[in-house]
Amino acid sequence: MNIRKTLLATACAFAFALGIASAPASADTSANTSWNGSGTVTFNANASNGSTFALSSAGNVNGGTAQFSNDETNAYGYGVPNTNANFNAAVNSGGLIQSSFTRDGSAGAYGAAGQSITSTAYSFDGAANAVGNLKSNYASISDVGYGQPHTADGKTLSASGSQYTLTYNVNTGVANNASGMTISGNGSAAFASNFSSASANGYSLANGGGIFTLAAITGTGTGSFSYGGVGTGSVSVPGANLSVPGTVTNPGSLTISGTWDGSLNLGNVSVNGAAH
């Protein structure tokens, strides 16, 4: 496991020494960091045959925390560690937060690796916030928002300003099996999700079972939104009561998009896809 974290900041803000930590593949290992100032923070970590996590937070006002850990005890005998990546980042007066979490290891019976969950929160001159509670194991990856810390306004992603963009993507690593959400505008917007996941068999964007069903987009001012997915088995958007079949040679695809002027409150923006 190799963990690397770097902070570059203006001289009047703060400084943080470059740190590199390593541990044997057979050990449980972890790393964490926090920051508060201005400039750019990058946090990169990986667990061999487990997952890779990358976070970048840049802003005139920049604060947050990030952690990564892995359990390499191989409890299930698959040779794939469980990994966890958590972050909570906030920028103000303009900034950009980007995260990427990719599953690198898999057990043969559960399909190939390569699943990923990525997010972006950007504001030209206002605030942007992003959180993640990311997990991987021998079969899948997930982002579990229920019961976890959220942004200052209780969401997964949020931004405000004269120009902002939010993106959230879930990818199975299998061709033509992925989903995504994009919001941009002038004013403010937020994306709330209790649960997203991906495996070689399919994906769920902002959807789950039981209490893990929160999936919403809200906004003020003016803006546009889009969410949907593609799948070689099927794609469904439960909130719009839409579902289409797909095949390897003719994947199914669904996209919901629109604009608003004043305010927006969309519930159940979840997307589900199945792969063949």
pLDDT value at residue 209? 54
pLDDT value at residue 10? 28
DSSP assignment string, 181-194: EEEEEEEEEEEEES
Assign 81 a pLDDT band (cuts: 50, 70, 90). Answer: confident
pLDDT value at residue 13? 28
- Please give the C-alpha separations between residue 90 and each of 6, 34, 41, 101, 255, in angstroms, as whole numbers: 17, 12, 11, 19, 29
The answer to whether 248 and 232 have CB atoms below 8 angstroms apart is yes
The answer to whether 244 and 192 have CB atoms below 8 angstroms apart is no
Instruction: Spell out the residues 6+ positions from residue 205 whose beta carbon is closer than 8 angstroms to its own.
Output: 168, 170, 179, 180, 181, 193, 196, 215, 227, 229, 270, 271, 272
Domain parsing of the chain, residue ranges = 47-65+72-274
pLDDT in tens, 204-257: 998 765 555 678 899 999 999 999 999 999 999 998 999 999 999 999 999 999
pLDDT value at residue 22? 31
User: Is pLDDT above 90 for 90?
Assistant: yes
pLDDT in tens, 147-193: 665 555 668 999 999 999 999 999 999 999 999 999 999 999 999 98
Query: How far, in Å, CA of 189 to CA of 265, rounded?
Result: 10
Number of neighbouring beta carbons within 10 Å of residue 148: 14
3-state secondary structure of 49: coil
Give the residue-averaged pLDDT of 190-203. 91
Closest CA to 172 of 194, 129, 203, 196: 203
pLDDT in tens, 14-69: 222 222 233 333 345 788 999 999 999 999 998 888 899 999 999 999 999 999 99
Q: Write down the number of H helices and E strands in the chain.
A: 0, 17
